[in-house]
């Protein structure tokens, strides 16, 4: 497409440019909003309890708040006002990419009732905290306890040098970040590539050493992966309960049950020991695959750990929502709650309550950060 744009004559070049812009933008959400809005000018029934079948996380329907486009515009309120008042001439003068602008404004269509405000609060690095707590990775727990930057700390641990954001060895933070996002659940070079490592400036030959450095600096987490792998396989083979890292595994009525610290159980239907593509043992079970059909799926230790960590993060969110039950929670997205709040309510009070550790997760350090806004947006 880029080559065609260079050589295409007008008006074909303009048409191709507009087509490219539209492909990168999603404005179908506006249609979904029009279809979902009720007589009270609010959208209802947007969340499915236990929507994700392996973790029990909520899923979205209708408008799908979980996958709204991000907003990065500094003058979001100004652009929003121009669209709201229908001043499209000024909009086209001030903003070059209109489809992208409209896409970024989708979140701002959600507004609180008159006289109220939104307080948006979410957990800081919840999955990184949970996996470190399960595995007992002491240096990570210390970083969270001290309120440090996990990406800097991870890079420092991997490369054995001090790393500070915008400071000494600051260029290594990006490597720490991509490693944290891609490698926590057994990911390797392929996971780094799919997370955009090459586009971020990393070289192909740097990827495998990055995987090795991350695993070497997180021995307790890698041990956790394979302890879960062993516990699951033994449970299925022997049809007897097993336990590791405070997690219990049971085989009952042709189902594998994983009991989380919260007491909730994850279920896997008709588990078996099979053979993976490398000739080793793997666990298979019946579930809904990528084709949306009931089929036999393959899993192993790190994938089970991903399910366990994300399911535990979901239970922590539910505990936080119970703690905040006197607030008007109008939506929740991943690890974030959106509250329609009284003008006098403080963000700090909401974050303090949200960051309280559940009684079943002793030793887990949580932190919630938040902001207030007149319309829904990303801070």
Residue 165's φ and ψ, nearest 5 degrees, are: -65, 125
Residue 4 confidence (pLDDT) = 64
pLDDT at 180 (0 to 100)? 83
Which helix (H) or strand (E) segment is 232 a member of? helix 219-238
Gyration radius (Cα) of the chain, Å: 24
Q: What is the pTM for the complete model shown? A: 0.86
Q: d(Cα 360, Cα 262) in Å, to the nearest integer?
A: 6
C-alpha span between 249 and 283 (Å, rounded): 14
Instruction: Give the separation between CA 320 and CA 144, rounded to whole angstroms.
Output: 19
CA dihedral for 180, 183, 188, 191, sign (positive or negative): negative
Output the six-digit token pair for 114: 């008159």
Q: CA–CA separation, 178 vs 11, rounded Å?
A: 41
Give the integer Cα–Cα distance in Å for 27 and 63.
11
Take residue 4 and report the two structure tokens written for it.
Answer: 């065609």
Do 47 and 58 touch, CB atoms closer than 8 A?
Answer: yes
Ramachandran angles phi, psi of 284, nearest 5°: -125, 155
- So where are the chain's domains? 21-110, 138-217, 224-297
Tokens of 317: 């969110």
C-alpha separations of 23 from 53, 73, 278 in Å: 31, 19, 39
- The residue among 29, 31, 1, 35 whose CA lies nearest residue 15 is 1
C-alpha torsion 362→315→308→181, nearest 10: -90
Q: Which two tokens stand for residue 59?
A: 């899923």
Looking at the DSSP bridge assignments, the partners of residue 337 are 121, 332
Tokens of 213: 């450095």
Residues of the chain with pLDDT under 70: 1-6, 21-27
**352 three-state secondary structure:** helix
């Amino acid at each position: 497409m880029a080559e065609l744009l260079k050589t295409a004559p007008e008006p074909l070049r303009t048409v191709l440019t507009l087509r490219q812009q539209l492909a990168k933008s999603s404005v179908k959400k506006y249609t979904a909003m029009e279809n979902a809005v009720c007589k009270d000018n609010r959208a209802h029934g947007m969340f499915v309890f236990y929507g994700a079948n392996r973790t029990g996380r909520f899923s979205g329907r209708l408008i799908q708040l979980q996958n709204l486009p991000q907003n990065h515009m500094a003058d979001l309120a100004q652009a929003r006002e121009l669209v709201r008042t229908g001043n499209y001439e000024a909009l086209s003068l001030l903003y070059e990419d209109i489809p992208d602008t409209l896409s970024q404004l989708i979140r701002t269509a959600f507004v609180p009732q008159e006289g109220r405000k939104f307080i948006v609060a979410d957990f800081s690095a919840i999955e990184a905290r949970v996996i470190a707590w399960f595995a007992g990775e002491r240096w990570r727990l210390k970083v969270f306890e001290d309120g440090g930057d996990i990406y800097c700390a991870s890079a420092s641990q991997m490369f054995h040098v001090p790393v500070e954001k915008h400071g000494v060895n600051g260029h290594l933070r990006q490597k720490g970040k991509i490693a944290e996002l891609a490698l926590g659940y057994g990911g390797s070079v392929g996971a780094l590539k799919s997370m955009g490592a090459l586009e971020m400036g990393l070289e192909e030959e740097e990827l495998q050493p990055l995987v090795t450095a991350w695993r070497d600096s997180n021995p307790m987490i890698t041990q956790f992966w394979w302890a879960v792998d062993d516990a699951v396989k033994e449970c299925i083979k022997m049809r007897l309960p097993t336990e590791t890292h405070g997690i219990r595994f049971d085989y009952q009525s042709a189902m594998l049950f994983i009991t989380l610290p919260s007491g909730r159980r994850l279920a896997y239907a008709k588990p078996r020991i099979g053979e993976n593509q490398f000739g080793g043992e793997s666990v298979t079970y019946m579930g809904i695959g990528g084709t949306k059909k009931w089929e036999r799926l393959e899993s192993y230790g790190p994938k089970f750990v991903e399910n366990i960590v994300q399911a535990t993060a979901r239970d922590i969110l539910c505990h936080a929502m119970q703690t905040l039950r006197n607030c008007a929670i109008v939506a929740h997205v991943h690890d974030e709650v959106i509250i329609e709040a009284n003008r006098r309510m403080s963000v700090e009070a909401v974050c303090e309550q949200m960051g309280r550790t559940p009684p079943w997760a002793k030793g887990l350090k949580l932190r919630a950060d938040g902001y207030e806004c007149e319309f829904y947006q990303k801070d």
